[in-house]
Structure 1
Amino acid sequence: MKLYIRNMACESCKVLVKEELVKLGKQPLHVDLGEVDVKGKLSEKEKKQFAAAIKKAGLELTASKEGLLIDKIKATITEYVANADQIRSNLSTYLSKKLNYDYAYLSSYFSAMQANTIEQFAISLKIEKAKEMLVIDGLTLTEIAHKLNYSSVAHLSAQFKKVAGLPASHFKNLNKVRRITIQSL
């Protein structure tokens, strides 16, 4: 049986889904972002229990693939940003190859379903990652620009100020860290 799950964006989501299925006595055959193959069928009662369990983590059991492409796009962009220093292709090429869709289709679909573009989402995600690197990891802007594949520190600084509303140097000195969860982007 195939189940479709919205908002799966990371490896810990996959682990949670597997654990919850095992608690129900079900064997997950394959877990991927947005979908899981389960050996056998789930009763309506089991589906409700599973849905309630994963909802606590912000996941949602859905009846079809509708909308899952958005989640896959977001998860792939998140993966791209997390591994930016190791990936040697641009975002559009990376998305197309990973999702097996033409980038123009992905871009128009994402824009139609979301309040922003793929590029805007990716920039927001990169800036949140930059905030984390500044505050938690204590990296310099030069190191962050390199790790996130920015062409220059000036480019990172300009985007940081535009998205965060203040320069990175001021942000680092704030006592109150203003960070946004990935799910709310």
Structure 2
Amino acid sequence: MKINFIASDQRKETLTEEVFYIKNMVCSICIRVIQEKLIFLALPVQEVELGWVRFKKILEPEELNRVGQALGEEGFEIILSNKSKIVEQIKELIGQTLYPNESPKGLKYSEYLSKSIGRDYSFLSHTFSALENLTIEKYVICQKADRAKTTL
């Protein structure tokens, strides 16, 4: 089965390792699920963090397809386009702010996101809305509501 990836702008590579951003990776359970899948595939994983995976080597095309298929079975997707990476960074940062010790002290979300990502907020907002069909503000409200539901 061939995997259809999001548009391939470029893969972030060095000579010895490769990093992929993962769509829909929003919590610590997601990290554990992805780690288990990659261990099962016997791939050289160096690190799995919220929103991305670093491999110890550059993956061969068939390995990349296996990763994409395995992650797709769990509702995740490898992100290869730059705008999609930005959207996932925004989601990751917002997710982190839902925990008391991680929230941005004295900053509005617009300032926090702009400062953390290093891009103008209007660009971030436009990019997020274009890809998600939802404003950042509405996304924050939905995430807070979901977080409140899980704590009840």
Q: Is this a same-fold pair by TM over 0.5? A: yes
Q: Determine whether 1:26 maps to 2:43.
A: yes
Please give the residue correspondences for 1:131-146 in structure 2 after superposition, counting only pairs within 5 Å.
131-133=149-151, 136=152
The answer to whether the aligner puts 1:92 opposite 2:110 as a matched pair is: yes
Q: CA RMSD in A?
A: 2.6
TM-score of the aligned structures, taking structure 2 as reference length:
0.70
Cα offset, 1:103, TM superposition: 2.0
The alignment status of 1:37 with 2:40, answered yes or no, reads no
* 2:67 maps to amino acid: F
1:109 aligned residue (113, 118, 127): 127
The letter of the residue matching 1:127 is A
Unpaired segments ≥5 residues, structure 1? 137-185
Paired residue total? 134
- Using the aligned pairs only, state the percent identity: 31
Alignment map for 1:117-156 (pairs within 5 Å): 117-133=135-151, 136=152
Q: TM-score, normalised to structure 1's length?
A: 0.59
With a CA cutoff of 8 Å and minimum separation of 6, indicate the structure with the bigger relative contact order.
2
Q: What are the Cα deviations for residues 37-77 of structure 1, in whole angstroms up to 9, with x where unaligned?
A: 21123333322322222122210124443412112212211
SS of 2:95 mapped into structure 1: helix
- Structure of higher CA gyration radius: 1
Question: What is aligned with 2:86?
Answer: 69
